Amino acid sequence: MGALIKGTDGRVPTGEIVFFRSLFAVPIMIGWLAFVGQLSEGVRTSRPFGHLWRGVIGTTAMGLMFTALTLLPLPEVTTLQYATPLFITILAAIILGERLRLFRLSAVVLGLIGVLVVLYPRLTSLNDAGATEALGAAIMIASALAAALAQVQVRRLVATERPATVALYFSFSSTLISLATLPFGWVIPGGQDLVLLVACGLIGGAGQGMLSSAYRFAPASVVAPFDYASLFFATALGMAFFDEVPTRTTLLGAAIVIAAGILIIWRERRLGMDRAASKRARQTPF
């Protein structure tokens, strides 16, 4: 999806890209929910304003990321996106009151060091090209922070709402919210750009549905690490279509961020196993 967006090469405004990404994801989401027998459940909600707030934050994160894709290499955008789980951990402690233990805090600090490693060349090279890339890096960090805030809101919603409902209403809300950018210079896309935009929406919707399905068949601790495979795909696509070769600094920072993310996932799995063992022990009648 990121490669398709990058292929528009700045010819289409970001808000318009968000609109196409959201609009053409809707039929995919509806088809997926119908296939798994959750369509009737997916359209019922008791928290419309909660979904609207999630849509505002999520659409902002999406728009910022799409803007960053026009300013930075694809592998670098992907790496900085990995900061989202780190920000989720921090925001969940601040907003939801989740306990932040020393191990997880240490992993978050390690991950933020990795982010700084990726950012360092951008922040120290402020000529014309460097200033553009520094802006792109700042926008991508803002996107990761907004995405983390959106995920915290999702945690609030799933306490009473089904995941299918959250996914479907986000597609609806992001489509409508992106229309607010219409006065800021939308264009009639050419044939090639139109194909890229429609494909972006279809692939984005398919990816969202497959991810939701993955979490139905396996625990988060199994599914989540596969997200880091996106760096390999981003690197391959960047090199093949945009002549983007990731720097050693980007790869080093990515390795640190990925290591921190995997440590957090591993720790969450261990805690989950400990909680399950304690529950079984309490249920033992002797």
The answer to whether the CB of 188 falls within 8 A of the CB of 66 is no
| Domain of residue 214, residue span | 2-283
Ranges of residues in the chain whose predicted pLDDT is under 50: 286
Q: What angle do CA 167, 28, 43 make, to 5 degrees?
A: 45
The answer to whether the CB of 173 falls within 8 A of the CB of 54 is yes
Distance CA 269, CA 262 (A): 10
How many domains does one find in the chain?
1
Q: What is the pLDDT of residue 128?
A: 59
Q: Tokens 């900061």 identify what position?
A: 83
Rounded to two decimals, the pTM is: 0.88
Q: What angle do CA 21, 164, 222 make, to 5 degrees?
A: 90
Q: What is the pLDDT of residue 99?
A: 80
Q: What is the pLDDT of residue 217?
A: 79
Phi, then psi, of 121 in degrees rounded to 5 = -60, -30
Q: What is the pLDDT of residue 286?
A: 47
